Amino acid sequence: MKIKIDKEVNNKVIINSKEKIMAKLNDQTIKEQELINKQEESGNEVLCLMKIGFFFHAYNAGAYALARVMNYRVARKVRRSGLEMMTAGFPSEKLPSVLESITAAGGRILSQTDDCVKFTGIDYASDGIVVIEKEKKAKVLTQDEPLHESELAKMIRSYDLLHSTPLDAITFIGRLQALVSQ
């Protein structure tokens, strides 16, 4: 059996798609934590929106500020590393209206690149903000288990697309494809 080496990530050779996905998740968690640390170092005076895939996300104090301005809900997420964070996000095509709302609420845009927006001047207090707990994912069948149409339909219906990252959704679709092609 030949093993195709796809690429090297953080000095580790990534061999299969599951390992690639895990490497991306770990890399994303590091970026999120770095952003949270930078916000906290500034005393949460400088808040950030970070682009991940097709969405912009705000974390912890930034999530509360974004929720206050845009009337969004904040989700509590626990990463595989055990790191707990608050997050709020929106599709990237909504960025102009979000920036307009930040400035209309008295905030200031400090800098903007393709994948990061820094802003200040918005209340980031958690009081009065709706926080939702991210639901556990539906049970995913393995390829060894028999697949019944009703089980597939239950999996699809129970998947929480609204509160999933694009990577979560792609992974879910991959699982569905693998189960259907059995």
DSSP letter at 15?
-
Cα separation of the two ends of the chain: 21
| Residues 89 and 168 placed together within one structural domain of the fold | no
- What is the predicted pLDDT for the residue at 58? 94
Same domain membership, residue 139 and residue 104: no
Clarify whether residues 100 and 180 are in a common domain: no
* Residues 147 and 108 reside in one and the same domain: no
Tokens of 132: 């939702």
Q: What is the pLDDT of residue 18?
A: 46
Total domains present in the chain: 2
In a domain, 1, yes or no: no
Answer yes or no: do 106 and 65 share one domain.
yes
Phi, psi of 117 (to 5 degrees): -125, 130
Note whether 118 and 68 are same-domain residues.
yes
Same-domain pairing of 119 and 147: no
Same domain, 108 and 149: no
Q: Is residue 77 part of a domain?
A: yes
- State whether 115 and 152 are in the same domain: no
For residue 178, the model assigns a pLDDT of: 76
Query: Is residue 49 domain-shared with residue 100, that is, in the same domain?
Result: yes
169 contacts 161 by C-beta, under 8 angstroms: yes
3-state SS, residue 139: coil
Domain assignment of residue 117, yes or no: yes
Q: Report how far residue 54's alpha carbon sits from residue 35's, in angstroms, rounded to the nearest whole number.
A: 18
Q: For every one of its 182 residues, what pLDDT tens digit does the chain have, with 9 covering 90 and above?
A: 343 444 444 444 444 454 544 444 444 555 788 888 888 898 989 999 999 889 999 999 999 999 999 989 899 888 777 778 899 999 999 999 999 999 999 999 999 999 899 999 999 988 877 788 765 444 444 555 555 556 777 778 777 777 778 888 888 888 887 777 76
